[in-house]
């Protein structure tokens, strides 16, 4: 039974619940041991996630891509506007065009010093360069576009809110979904990415956010032996922690 006794201003208010549709949250309460086991399992699986640049051309069913996009679209967004559009490409010719355009931009980045020395030094251990063969070899490319503002059929503009934040969360869920279902990807952001808007025929209110080549890894593929930051380097707890929470 619902108990709002902790709140002077419960949500939703009776009037809000009367004016707009609300449903009861579906929530499964786990024991502390079950929660920790689930958390440990999820962390262990995600800790094995790596960006893969040597992708196989082995086919990946369209339904898997659609399911990953559906999972990504469960992300929270400002005013629930869902300001994103995932554009999926399997057509070999379009993938080739994306590779050609991306490599042209990256060649300027890497070979003509559009990326400064510090940036290139940071990338050196990862061995990235302007060659992006995976864009043509991977069975799928998915480009996430941020919808900067809403555009109705009659040309009327509407505001979207916290667009980059929402798209960033959606991108994270998309990567998680792909990894969970047994696929690999990497986040590719050829800068600038404006060529994708024109090449893929997207409207003026959309801007490329990140590009994902998706597929299976080549057998025996190598990835950099990198270590992630220790928890103490990424978590700061401020103030006293009540004993029951320790």
* b (16+ CB within 10 A) / e for 134-151: bbbbbbbbbbbbbbbeee
φ/ψ of residue 189, rounded to 5: -130, 75
The pLDDT value recorded for residue 29 is 95
The pLDDT value recorded for residue 110 is 81
Q: Beta-carbon neighbour count of residue 43 at 10 Å?
A: 10
The pLDDT value recorded for residue 181 is 97
The pLDDT value recorded for residue 123 is 85
Query: What whole-number distance in Å separates Cα of residue 193 and Cα of residue 206?
Result: 12
Domains of the chain from N-terminus onward: 57-218 (3.40.109.10)
The pLDDT value recorded for residue 60 is 98
**In the structure encoding, which two tokens stand for residue 82, read together?**
């869902």
The pLDDT value recorded for residue 76 is 98
Tens-level pLDDT at each residue, the chain (246 residues):
778 889 999 999 999 999 999 999 999 999 999 999 999 999 999 999 999 999 999 999 999 999 999 999 999 999 999 999 999 999 999 999 999 999 998 888 787 778 788 888 888 888 788 889 999 999 999 999 999 999 888 889 999 999 999 999 999 999 999 999 999 999 999 888 999 999 999 999 999 999 999 999 999 999 999 899 999 999 999 999 999 998
Name the pTM for this structure.
Answer: 0.93
Q: Beta-carbon neighbour count of residue 179 at 10 Å?
A: 17
């Amino acid at each position: 039974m619902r108990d709002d006794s902790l709140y002077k201003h419960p949500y939703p208010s009776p009037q809000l619940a009367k004016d707009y549709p609300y449903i009861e949250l579906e929530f499964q309460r786990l024991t502390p041991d079950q929660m920790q086991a689930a958390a440990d399992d999820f962390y262990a699986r995600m800790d094995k996630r790596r960006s893969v640049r040597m992708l196989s051309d082995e086919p990946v069913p369209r339904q898997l891509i659609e399911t990953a996009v559906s999972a990504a679209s469960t992300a929270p967004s400002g005013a629930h506007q869902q300001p994103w559009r995932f554009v999926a490409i399997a057509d070999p010719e379009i993938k080739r065009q994306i590779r050609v355009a991306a490599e042209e931009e990256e060649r300027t980045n890497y070979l003509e010093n559009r990326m400064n020395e510090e940036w290139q030094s940071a990338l050196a251990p990862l061995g990235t360069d302007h060659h992006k063969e995976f864009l043509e070899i991977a069975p799928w490319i998915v480009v996430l576009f941020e919808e900067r503002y809403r555009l109705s059929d009659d040309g009327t503009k509407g505001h979207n809110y916290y667009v980059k934040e929402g798209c960033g969360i959606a991108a994270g869920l998309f990567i998680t979904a792909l990894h969970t279902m047994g696929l690999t990807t990497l986040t590719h952001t050829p800068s600038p990415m404006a060529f994708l808007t024109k090449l893929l025929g997207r409207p003026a209110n959309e801007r490329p956010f990140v590009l994902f080549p998706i597929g299976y890894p080549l057998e025996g593929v190598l990835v950099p032996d990198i270590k992630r930051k220790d928890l103490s380097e990424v978590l700061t707890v401020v103030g006293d922690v009540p004993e029951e929470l320790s």
